[in-house]
Structure 1
């Protein structure tokens, strides 16, 4: 199966670089490229790609607004991978909250780029451990953790453990090894987490967990409505 991609970035050199690299792969084809969020919305509707790589800061319509518009359309199955830099963590958070499946640093290596595109196109979230932890740490200091809400789901102790490992960017295999459980059991816990948190993937689960207070100031977590241990 060939992954069909759209690349949108207002920096022509950066955009050309991504397009050229992706074009070297037999299982990836770039069907269109654009320079701003309005281009992104138009091109995705026109070409219906599997994945759209969007820069965050662009003229006219930025990547966050474009992501929100695209993912609000129930007729589109395109997944969004945000292109960013370390200096834009707050925008990354907003992009994930808007429904993006992950983000990629613009100085990522070629293998990292290909891995991110394939992971997101396969319907998974791209949450590397170092970037995810940096993002959560950033918002822990910049935005006070919201108070616990009455509608916050009641997670079991094991579900909370799995959630925290997901937030740190661990894969299913790593979670299984860390908790000494099977990969099948990990998948079961994650599916239950998605259902309880109203999330469609790992990125949304982490955002929901932060907003509901499961990932909170001081790296303490909620369990059964009360703080429990350190993250």
Structure 2
């Protein structure tokens, strides 16, 4: 019995290692596949993945305050743009240069890895300093029926005094106990009593990735995040 167990363990480990090596070889084969059909297939898959991650992260971000969503949103937005470029331009160029000699050959061997490193660094930067262009409020659009939409708190904002201030009001606020307004990681103000109306000075709004924006978080009486909105000064309507 013991001998059978001892002989079975190495064979299981060897089988797992063989499967991992086979999967890695298959992944590399697909990654470097350079036919037109493979380029289209890989680019299309990355566009789908990017849209899914970007939109899904935006939807979740309206309801939960998870920092990781900034990075999945950034990854989705960037892979949506860069993914097709990587497989339609970078990989074919790297393979062509690898068949030459000298400096081009050395660059061709390292180009895909270097570009992926740059891409991941960009994801970290954009995720840390989330760009306003990535943030879209899908919450209202997915409300479903009129009754479900009416039950959700909504935020309405408009600029006043020639754009020097932004006046906001939370409607359908039955579930709301506290409103917190933040910009650039700092708290601007907090409203704890209805009606949940507040005014934000445009000069107090920080600029993130060249966009002036602030974030409004709605909490219930248990301190749970109910909704979260991001408003950019450039898109807030005028009164």
The two structures have a TM-score, normalised by structure 1, of 0.30
Which structure would you say has the larger Rg? 2
Higher strand share: 2
